[in-house]
Chains A and B, each alone.
Chain A
Amino acid sequence: MTPTIAILLIITFVLSTVGLLLLIWTIANNQFSHGQAAARTIFSPGEEGHSEDRARPADEPFTGDTSEQAQAIEARWTADQSSRTAVLTWLSSSVFWLLLGSFFGLASSIKMHLPEFLTASEFLTFGRIRPVHLNAVTYGWASMAGIGVALFLIPRLFKTSLVGGKYAVIGGFIWNIGLILGLSAITLGLSDGEEWLEFPWQVDLLFVVGGAMCAAPLLLTAANRNVEHLYVTSWYLMAALVWFPILFLIANLPFAFPGASGATVNWWFAHNVLGLWVTPIGIGIAYYMIPKILGRPIISYQLSLIGFWSLALFYSQVGIHHLIGGPIPTWLVTLSIVHSVMMSIPVITVAINHHGTMMGNFGRLKDSPTLRFVWIGALMYTVASLQGSMEALRSINVITHFTHYTVAHAHLGMYAFLSFILFGAVYFIMPRLTNWEWPWRKLISLHFWLVSIGILIYVVSLTVAGWKQGVALLDAAMPFMDIVKMTLPALQARTLGGALMTLGHLVFAFHFIAMLMRQGAATEQPTLFRPAIKENAQ
């Protein structure tokens, strides 16, 4: 190893280690928070011990025992209402893009095993509808739903009304225009040509502006806040909203990074979209929803802060593990592999908190749709992240790189983790914004089972086939076409899984619209997976 490389590596390691030590020191000295007290800030006075989803029939809705407590509940209702227009703008848009993205994904999947399916038109060729799928679900569904949920959580976390909500509404419109133009550009063959960065850079400006308009209410509301402690969810949301515009801007700088260095920027960005944008949003939501529905604070607040800063340190440098074996400097690949493995630290701390808080309360999964979606999402975060750390190792990556295995892993992360958490959050948020309960519990159930079975088929089939594909690719004695044939059953299974997921999304979208139109009977009871039989019998 040359001295320069060694020095570079040493500097990075020293920086990371010093950062981590500094963090541990500050937490040990209470520089950041007042520990467990901060974990309770999400509850209004006296609310701890009461579930906000009233998952148990025995639970009475908590309205406050004293007038002070009742006032706090009232204030929260006001805070929820203040974000109504902004949140509904972003969430409704996201549901539309989810549907559109699902259909494009399903069509792409069919084309993988029926290559003559829809080949006549250039606008529907595989190489165009696949990026339309990716961009629609990433920037349309996941990002818009994520921002929508963030806009809902911000006033709640800061215990004040959303300030500057109209900027977020305008931002939503700009973002939607960006999506329409960007997806049209891909369809017309005007892609920028790099994965995750297909939108032409002129269109990308709209996302930077739209995103910045969402940062405005965040800052204004933060300045107006009525809480002393910043709950960990707000850390994640604030960081995500800072990171995304920087990332998006640098990666899309036109004509700045030619050749092989373009590839490093490409994958630095692409993995950071996952690591520094959708992941903090997903984890942040779970950090709010799980304790709120259980009515108990997370078990270790200090741990959650270690999780946050170590995520920031390590996740920002993992991207180049997408280029292992590629034409780029070795030190760079090694750096990313090391950070990928180090990612197990934030993942394990988050896992301890999420799952540890659930400990002894798993029975609630039978009742609360929000909890079931969010907790399964959190569990899949643990699984997908540890799998990702493994995949970054050279010995594993040499097999899984360039195969369907990676596609399965991506969907485990973006769907089973992130989308599940977003589904759960939408089930929680909508009744509080519209003052109406979800009309049909059976539809929530149907949605859950369709998407769960769908993603299970999807991930299992492609994981197995992708691994076999990767092993076979290393052995030149196996002809390439034999490998293609070997993967065909899995590609067909993926279409089945994808069809189930798409069906689930249709159910979800239908229910969402019915909710907006106030279908079903007026009720005071939350719509849960099981009716509150016991309560009726009393």
Chain B
Amino acid sequence: MKRALAIMVGAALILLLATLTLVVMPYLQMSAEQVPPDLKPYTEQQQRGRQVYIANGCVYCHSQQPRDPSFAPGDKARGWGRPSVPGDYAYDEPHLLGTMRTGPDLFNIGARQPSIDWQLMHLYNPRAIIKGSIMPSYPFLFRHVDEPVEGDKVVNIPPPYGPESGKIVATEDALALAEYMLALDHTYPAPTLPTLPPKTDEPKENRAP
């Protein structure tokens, strides 16, 4: 039993070391990171939209982390924005950095497509706007009504993608999600970039070989 115990304790200690280096130290360093003054907290509606984003798994096809142009030139050149810094995510819980780009990066989608009508139409059926898109359509985020009433947000869908009669109206969830998309605008200047002492001015070079 002594040897079995030694193995298990040894294994646990090694994991403890990894937890210190990969969880505790980054947490201490990044939680001390300055929050960019231009970054606004989410409104209640945007936060609700963020939950819709999570519930429907947008993160499995879209990232929110443009890379440094000196490392991966395509990201900035495609208009996805400057490289992101930890402070940009100060209000993000959970994080939605993403690991897949089946669709484009969304870190600055609010700046690229600032029209809520565009966002809603695109959510109802992406192919109504972008030919050949493989993004799913989200009809369940919309209602099909014969006659919209006061306060309904009508989404005009170009034929043949819309219904033959009646109107398509956005639900609260769709509006919230679209508002969250518009809130994804990180075009303000990058504050401190991630290095320990703030005096160094060449962190960009440090972050990429």
Contacts and interface: CB of A to CB of B under 8 A. Distances in A.
Interface of A: 1-2, 4-5, 8, 12, 15, 19, 111-113, 115-116, 119-122, 125-128, 130-131, 189-195, 222-223, 225, 230, 234-235, 238-239, 242-243, 246-247, 250, 255, 257-266, 268, 272, 276, 309, 312-313, 316-317, 319-320, 322-323, 325-330, 332, 335-336, 394-395, 398, 401-404, 406-407, 473-476, 480-481, 484-485, 488, 491
Contacts of B7: 230, 235, 238-239
A264 B91 CA distance: 16
Given A115-B127, A325-B72, A223 B1 contact: yes
A313 B101 CA distance: 32
Interface of B: 1, 3-4, 7-8, 10-12, 14-15, 17-19, 21-23, 25-27, 29-31, 33, 54-61, 63, 65, 67-68, 71-74, 77-78, 83-86, 88-102, 104, 126-127, 130-141, 194-197, 200, 203, 206-209
Contact of B93 (A15, A112, A255, A272): A255
A401 B58 CA distance: 17
A266 B56 CA distance: 19
B56 A189 contact: yes
Contacts, number: 262
Contact of B96 (A193, A223, A319, A402): A193
Given A325-B65, A401-B99, A402-B98, 13 more contacts: A4-B197, A119-B137, A120-B140, A130-B60, A131-B57, A238-B8, A259-B90, A313-B14, A316-B14, A325-B208, A395-B209, A473-B74, A485-B132
A322 B98 CA distance: 10
A126 B61 CA distance: 10
B90 A327 contact: no
A8 B24 CA distance: 13
Contacts of B25: 8, 332
B194 A329 contact: yes
B60 A325 contact: no
A463 to B, nearest CB: 15
A475 B77 CA distance: 8
A313 to B, nearest CB: 6
Contact of B27 (A225, A242, A257, A330): A257
Given A260-B95, A312-B11, A193 B59 contact: yes
22 contacts: A112-B134, A115-B133, A116-B136, A116-B137, A128-B57, A230-B4, A238-B7, A261-B27, A264-B30, A268-B22, A312-B15, A316-B18, A323-B97, A325-B68, A327-B84, A328-B30, A330-B207, A394-B71, A394-B208, A395-B209, A398-B72, A403-B101
